[in-house]
């Protein structure tokens, strides 16, 4: 597990952008596409704004989502809506490169459809995204995988999650851990301190189950 400590969010973003560009251009040189799993919540907002300003050909990038709330895509609570407003609308990218979680059907069908979409993208072979970007909740949840959930111990591509606040759809921990790089984005001192405490707790905390070989933690020191 690699840990990148910076004193400010700006420095953290600059480091992420630098590393992203290196990996992007490495793929492009090899004529490989770059698959990027996006996260939601407020934590990536400034990161998405900065990503929108970098000089790359976004048509070599395919965008996915690690989880989504079961709300309309126009909702302020939609992870897609956040990425759309802060990143997608500001870059030149073909619609066929964008793979959002459709929330227009009943939730079980939405989950099945997204699983099929991901399988098709990888030609029914091993699912291994280039980048899987994750935020972390104060309880240590990642994507929509929550503490003490039975979903932590099951293998699946996507699955519905029923919570009191929102119904959700999430990718599985096995899919996250198969990613070539897992980027844990801890963009302020508060959440970084919480992680320092949570990491000492058990495997019932989702963030403590990340594949250490593939994980890079971006945090504020």
3-class DSSP assignment, residue 112: helix
> Is 173:206 a contact under the CB 8 Å cutoff?
yes
- How far is residue 3 from each of residues 6, 99, 181, measured CA to CA in Å? 10, 29, 13
Strand order in the sheet with 167-171: 67-69, 167-171, 158-162
Run of H or E residues at 10 = helix 9-29
How many folded domains does the chain comprise? 1
Q: What is the CATH number of the domain that holds 6?
A: 3.40.50.1360
Closest by Cα among 46, 48, 54 to 24? 54
Pairing of strands 167-171, 67-69: antiparallel
**pLDDT tens, position by position, for the chain (221 residues)?**
999 999 999 999 999 999 999 999 999 999 999 999 999 999 999 999 999 999 999 999 999 999 999 999 999 999 999 999 999 999 999 999 999 999 999 999 999 999 999 999 999 999 999 999 999 999 999 999 999 999 998 999 999 999 989 999 999 999 999 999 999 999 999 999 999 999 999 999 999 999 999 999 999 98
Distance CA 138, CA 115 (A): 28
Which residue range(s) make up the domain with 175?
2-220
pTM: 0.96
Distance CA 143, CA 67 (A): 5
> Is 170:151 a contact under the CB 8 Å cutoff?
yes
What are φ and ψ of residue 135, in 5° steps? -95, 180
């Amino acid at each position: 597990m690699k840990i990148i400590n910076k004193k400010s969010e700006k420095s953290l973003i600059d480091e992420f952008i630098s590393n992203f560009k290196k990996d992007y251009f490495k793929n492009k040189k090899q004529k490989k596409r770059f698959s990027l799993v996006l996260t939601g919540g407020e934590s990536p907002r400034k990161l998405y704004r900065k990503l929108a300003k970098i000089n790359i050909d976004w048509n070599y990038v395919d965008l996915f989502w690690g989880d989504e709330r079961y709300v309309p895509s126009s909702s302020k609570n939609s992870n897609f809506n956040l990425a759309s407003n802060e990143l997608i609308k500001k870059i030149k990218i073909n619609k066929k490169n964008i793979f959002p979680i459709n929330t227009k059907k009943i939730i079980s069908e939405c989950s099945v459809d997204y699983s099929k979409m991901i399988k098709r993208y990888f030609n029914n072979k091993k699912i291994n995204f280039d980048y899987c970007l994750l935020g972390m909740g104060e309880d240590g949840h990642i994507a929509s995988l929550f503490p003490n959930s039975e979903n932590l111990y099951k293998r699946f591509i996507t699955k519905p999650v029923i919570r009191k606040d929102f119904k959700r759809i999430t990718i599985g921990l096995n899919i996250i851990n198969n990613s070539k790089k897992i980027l844990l984005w801890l963009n302020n001192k508060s959440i970084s301190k919480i992680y320092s405490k949570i990491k000492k707790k058990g495997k019932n905390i989702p963030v403590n189950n990340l594949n250490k070989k593939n994980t890079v933690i971006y945090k504020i020191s």
